[in-house]
Structure 1
Amino acid sequence: MELAQRIYTKQGETVDSICHQHYGNTAGITEQVIEANPHVAFLSPVLPKNTLLLLPNIAKPASTKNLIQLWD
């Protein structure tokens, strides 16, 4: 897994919030970030300030679902 960048967490951040901020999405991405950073599994959901995270290069998944609206 190729790493895009290293970041240090700020106060109050979670893996989900970092994924949303960095990648613009969390679906399927949060798991990949945790896999690249197994040490976060032992931390609280709100990460301690200055925790090192390695953010992998993740290709944006192609949308495979066509959403329909109730009024379609």
Structure 2
Amino acid sequence: MPSKETLLVAHEATTLDLLLWRRFRAATPGMVERTLDINPGLAALGPILPVGTLVEIEVPTPGAVNALPVITLWD
């Protein structure tokens, strides 16, 4: 079962996907949708989250996140 964590929007012009990227430093498929489900009304704030907004997220257990394959354009 994933644990929960609360993130604070501390910078201007922060979107939800940027907030999640800053927390995980990796692509996490489906995380934006799960976060919107956990935080009713978050989408009503618009694409740019106001500074000071608290966002509750689920932190996946280690090994539960499927990494996206790396695509190399030049070999």
Give % identity.
26
* Residue of structure 2 in register with 1:9 after alignment: 9
Verify the 8 A CA contact 1:16 1:26 in the aligned structure 2: no
Query: Following superposition of structure 1 onto structure 2, how do residues 29-68 of structure 1 map, counting pairs within 5 Å?
Result: 29-59=31-61, 60-63=64-67
TM-score normalised over the length of structure 2 = 0.69
TM-score normalised over the length of structure 1 = 0.71
Letter in 1 for 2:8: Y
User: Over aligned residue pairs, what C-alpha RMSD do you find?
Assistant: 2.5
- CA radius of gyration, larger in: 1
Where does the alignment leave 5 or more consecutive residues of structure 1 unmatched? none
Measured in 1, the distance between the counterparts of 2:51 and 2:73 equals 44
Verify the 8 A CA contact 2:28 2:65 in the aligned structure 1: no
* Residue of structure 1 in register with 2:27 after alignment: 25
Measured in 1, the distance between the counterparts of 2:71 and 2:19 equals 30
Where does the alignment leave 5 or more consecutive residues of structure 2 unmatched? none
Task: Tell me: CA distance 1:16–1:71, structure 2 relative to 1, closer, same or farther (3 Å).
Answer: closer
Verify the 8 A CA contact 1:15 1:47 in the aligned structure 2: yes
Q: Per-residue deviation at 1:12?
A: 1.3
Task: Tell me: CA distance 1:62–1:41, structure 2 relative to 1, closer, same or farther (3 Å).
Answer: same
